Amino acid sequence: MIRIWGRPNSICTKRVLWALVEVGMEFELTLASGTMGPEGHISTGAEPYGSVDEPWFRAMNPNGTIPVIDDGGFVLWESIAILAYLGSRYGAGTLLDGRPETLARAVQWMSWTNEHLEPALNTQILELRRLPEGQRTPGAADEAGEEIARSVEALEAQLARTDYVAGEGFSMGDIPTGAAVYRWRVFGQWGRRLPHVDAWLARLAEREGFRCHVAPAELHV
């Protein structure tokens, strides 16, 4: 059984939980976070789940971030690295198909998600939902939304050519990308016609890991 430290409404934790469902691995989730708790974001005065600043946690991850996994004594942090590990160790035929090209394309789109979608998406969520109104920056949410929309056009072009981001079959590359784009949709920021992205999300929505760990809207707020 793999142990995980994180929280269900963390987009990075969602990636790992979804991947574990894909490979059929049992896991034990321990709630941990420096920014969120059962009552919400720390900007509202809520208490975080904690643990991330404890010495035992910093010994696992000196950055104090989530998620972290422990697989029989092998400890790993950063969700993209964790997906690569799960794909290479347990994901033959599910997260990866054994082709170097698929691996490379999957990593390409996972990196794209982190670099082009996540920063603007995090800004938008903070400005629209998590920060108290007095702490919000006028226009920041709209600016972030426009940046996301421009980035998603690249995804639309890819999905016009292939059913999934790394080719014709599902791969680990669809997990971070799918979770992020779906979160953008949950926050009501769609605003344009993206038929190939829509069709791709519909395919992802048929997967058990997506249904359990990404689809519930309350896990994004």
Question: What is the tens place of the pLDDT at every residue in 142-161?
Answer: 888 888 888 999 999 999 99
Query: Where in the chain are all domains bearing CATH 3.40.30.10?
Result: 2-90
Residue 167 confidence (pLDDT): 97
Residue type, 187: F
Burial label, 195 (beta-carbon count in 10 A; 0-12, 13-18, 19+)? exposed
Residue 56 confidence (pLDDT): 98
Q: What angle do CA 38, 43, 48 make, to 5 degrees?
A: 35
The CATH number corresponding to 100-207 among 3.50.50.60, 1.20.1050.10, 3.30.56.10, 3.40.50.170 equals: 1.20.1050.10
Residue 67 confidence (pLDDT): 98
The CATH number corresponding to 2-90 among 3.40.30.10, 3.20.20.80, 3.40.50.300, 3.30.160.270 equals: 3.40.30.10
Residue 138 confidence (pLDDT): 86
Burial label, 6 (beta-carbon count in 10 A; 0-12, 13-18, 19+)? buried
Parallel, antiparallel, or unpaired for β 68-71 and 74-77?
antiparallel
- pLDDT of 221 above 70: no
| CA–CA distance, 170 with 174 (Å, rounded to integer) | 7
**Per-residue pLDDT averaged across 7-16, rounded?**
95
Query: Where in the chain are all domains bearing CATH 1.20.1050.10?
Result: 100-207
- What are 45-79's pLDDT values in tens digits? 899 999 999 999 999 999 999 999 999 999 999 99
Nearest residue to 155 (alpha-carbon basis) of 173, 129, 137: 173
pLDDT confidence of 137, banded at 50, 70, 90?
A: confident
CB atoms under 10 Å from CB of 161, counted, come to 9
- What are 178-210's pLDDT values in tens digits? 999 998 888 765 567 899 999 999 999 999 999
Q: What angle do CA 9, 10, 11 make, to 5 degrees?
A: 110
> Radius of gyration over alpha carbons of the chain, in Å?
17
